[in-house]
Amino acid sequence: MDSSPESLEDDLARPSLMTSVGGSIATRLALGIVVLVALITSLVVVELNRLEWQRLLTSKRGAAQMVAVLFAGSLAPALDFKDDEAIRDRVRGLEVSPEILQARILANGRSEVLAEYRKPREPECAEPDCIEVLHPVMSPTNEQLGTVQLKVSLNQEREAFAQTRRRMIGLGAVFSLGLASALILIARRFLVTPLGRLETAAMGLARGLPVLVPVQRDDEIGRLSRTFNAMAQIIDDRERRIAASNRRLQNLLDHMGQAIVVFDAEGKLTEEHSRQAARIFGATAGTSVVDQVYPSADDSTMEREAFQAWIDAAVNAGDLAQFKELVDLAPRSVKFRQPDGELELDLEYRLVDGGDAQQIMLLATDVTEQRRLERSVAEKEREHERQLSAVRRLVSGGGQLFAAFMEQTERRLGVCRELVNAHSTLDRATVEALFQQFHTLRAEARCFDLASIEARVTQLEALLQELRAGDTDHSGGQDVRQGVDELAQLLTEAQQTFVAQHPLGAAALDQITVRRSRVVRLLQQSAGLKGDVRARIEELARRPLVESTALLPEAVARWAQRAGKQVRLEVDHQGLEIPYALAGVLGGVLSHLLRNAIAHGIESQAEREKAGKPSTGVVRISGSECEGGVAITVADDGAGFNIDAIRARTRGVSPEAILALSEAFESGTSTIVNRGELAGAGVGLAAARAELASAGYCIRIAATSPQGTELRLTPISASDAAPVSTGLAARNA
């Protein structure tokens, strides 16, 4: 049967149906009959007593009314002649009646008492101790002469009523006892005794004994007995099938590689479990599944409480759909300590029908070796990637990139010194210019993993951000000047470290296809030349696009991880070479654009899946020849620019003007509300545009939509000045 032998023994050890704690059914039936008969008899007796009292009152009132009529008739002549002495004599004549407690003769207006009689030592009385009767005194001409008021005692009636009530209660008690006894005997003969036989048979069936209840009647009890016999036969057949099925199921569970247990609504394990579960958990029926999965309370108190809370919610799931939603909140893996090592288990959950309540099946799969292999493979892949990254840096010419960074950084620090030295107090324009310089420097320092420089620049940016938020000019030049000096010292230390580690030493800082100093000198000397010679010199100074993008893949991976997103960078350089001036600033510009794409453009994984996009966002960098030089394209498949937000921050410039005039690249224009570590506070794109302008390039939004954004970096032409100035005028209008 479904119950275990232990539970059956407990059930059989309890008081039987006929002798349970609450009393047998016979006792309950007898008490019910007695209470019911007594209640009905009491109601009948109460009603009879009420009727008897009403009868006595009616009779007494009628007699009193008759006395009042006779007395009023005898008083009529005396009242008619206003014979006061006769009236008083008539009233005193009522003393002979012991039941008349009070009598009054009232004048016609009932305000004057003409005569009064009160029984000595009797207090004023009212119902139910006495009744009051009023009757008018009429003259022969039907004129009312006065009113007779009598109060008559009810003592005799109350004594008679009490005696009658006692007789009724006695007769009712005798009747109730006799009727209840008869009903109890009938119920015991035709109901309790047959039920007792059924109880004895049921207990025998619980012990597994063959039972058969004799059927002697054709009423409800007889039909119940026949039904019980049929049920006993069906249960016996079912038990045989269940036992065979359990043997097959247990054999199947024992040959599975998973640890399988089943627990009920209280989190207690049932009998069903696999051999693997006994080996790993030591599964025993009745123990807590929380103790099995998290045996150490000291190390996993929070996990135990969370698992117990999940069990309480899961077992009360109304249907399978609700249970599937709750499964996502359950622990999916656990590390299980054993004497021979640590096991890693993957956990799965299945809702099963446990009869009266839902039960949950827990499937634990040993994935220790699989996880160990995955970690080993991942570590080898990371080591391989680090090796490839180092090789890529060397192949792409890490020395010249670092040299360009050093040159640009020294130039930026020089600009910062000039700005600080030129002003005793830092006005808004100076703070803005300093912020752009430091913001770009921090992005470039990240590309070279110069953490000390990045940290110091971050501190200076925080200082400038406080100054930007103020309403007046601030003195802070000394702090900024000190920070610039510290950055110069850190830059010198970084340069010394690079030279010490590079195989070429200090010459690595001047290594390009030809020596950079010669190319720079040649460009300077040929500045006034035109024609083919100048073109050839500029062509000689061009640098491969790959040099400016070599460090970006690793940087993008780090930025995406910090933003909690999945982003992949694709670079299609196709051997393209870019002008020397553009090569000097392109690395920093691209870092701004990529960070902006990750922070603003690429959606989170959940948002991309909701929009029907791949979970991993893609940013592509490509280049091509164009009129006047080369064009660099930076495209992503994110959510696009928020034109409405930019328009609101740029005082209502139309969406067409924003696209055509690059209003999105104005300093302070930002569409993000909760700025994180990657957000540039509205200066990233402005700094990128300023850097490109110094190299003779501009940046525009080529296209933007919910499917992505495309930015183009192109040489500045003569036609660019007029639209830009017009757009600024429109914005400031």
pLDDT at 636: 92
Residue 379 forms part of a structural domain: no
Residue 479 forms part of a structural domain: yes
Same domain, 728 and 656: yes
**CATH number where 663 lies:** 3.30.565.10
Same domain, 446 and 356: no
What is the pLDDT averaged over residues 158-179?
81
Q: Are 420 and 477 in contact (CB under 8 A)?
A: yes
Residue 382 forms part of a structural domain: no
Residue of 16 and 169 predicted with greater confidence: 169
Residue 146 forms part of a structural domain: yes
Residue where a domain terminates, one of 511, 535, 562: 511
Range of the domain at 30: 1-211
**CATH number where 492 lies:** 1.20.120.160
DSSP 83: -
Residue of 427 and 449 predicted with greater confidence: 427
The pLDDT tens digits of the residues spanning 380-417 come to: 787 666 555 544 554 455 567 777 778 888 888 888 88
What is the pLDDT averaged over residues 159-172?
82
pLDDT at 633: 92
Percent of the chain residues past pLDDT 90, beyond the cut: 2
Residue 390 forms part of a structural domain: no
Percent of the chain residues past pLDDT 70, beyond the cut: 77
pLDDT at 723: 43
Ranges of beta strands (E only) in 238-380 are 259-263, 269-273, 333-338, 341-353, 358-366
How many structural domains are present in the chain?
4
Residue of 222 and 572 predicted with greater confidence: 572
**Alpha carbon distance 644, 640 (integer Å):** 12
**Alpha carbon distance 471, 247 (integer Å):** 83
pLDDT at 5: 45
Q: In sequence order, what DSSP letters do the residues of 162-221 get, joined into one string?
A: HHHHHHHHHHHHHHHHHHHHHHHHHHIIIIIHHHHHHHHHHHHHHTT---------SSHH
Residue 57 forms part of a structural domain: yes
For the CA atoms of 226, 232, 238, 240, the dihedral, rounded to the nearest 10 degrees, stands at -140
Is a pLDDT exceeding 90 seen at residue 191? no
Same domain, 564 and 704: yes
Same domain, 49 and 190: yes
Residue 16 forms part of a structural domain: yes
pLDDT at 252: 60
Residue 410 forms part of a structural domain: yes
The rounded mean pLDDT for the chain is: 75
Vertex 348: Cα angle to 343 and 351 (nearest 5): 145
The pLDDT tens digits of the residues spanning 516-534 come to: 777 777 777 777 777 777 7
The pLDDT tens digits of the residues spanning 598-609 come to: 888 898 888 888
Query: Confidence band (pLDDT; 50, 70, 90) for 676?
Result: low
Residue of 513 and 330 predicted with greater confidence: 330
The pLDDT tens digits of the residues spanning 621-633 come to: 998 888 878 899 9
**Alpha carbon distance 592, 628 (integer Å):** 24
**Alpha carbon distance 551, 112 (integer Å):** 126
Pairing of strands 617-626, 567-572: parallel
pLDDT at 635: 92
Query: Confidence band (pLDDT; 50, 70, 90) for 89?
Result: confident
**Alpha carbon distance 405, 394 (integer Å):** 16
What is the pLDDT averaged over residues 297-317?
77
Residue where a domain terminates, one of 463, 492, 511: 511
What is the pLDDT averaged over residues 2-26?
48
Angle between helix axes 84-92 and 25-80 (nearest 10 degrees) is 150
Residue where a domain terminates, one of 345, 366, 387: 366
Q: Are 257 and 365 in contact (CB under 8 A)?
A: yes
Query: Confidence band (pLDDT; 50, 70, 90) for 647?
Result: low
Least confidently predicted of 170-179, 235-244, 380-389, 529-538:
380-389
pLDDT at 427: 78
Cα→Cα distances 355→2, 111, 243, 264, 358, Å? 10, 87, 17, 10, 7
pLDDT at 669: 47
Q: Are 566 and 605 in contact (CB under 8 A)?
A: yes
Strand ranges across the sheet with 697-705: 567-572, 617-626, 629-636, 708-715, 697-705
Q: Hey, CA dihedral for 352, 357, 360, 361, is it positive or negative?
A: negative
Least confidently predicted of 249-253, 449-453, 617-621:
249-253
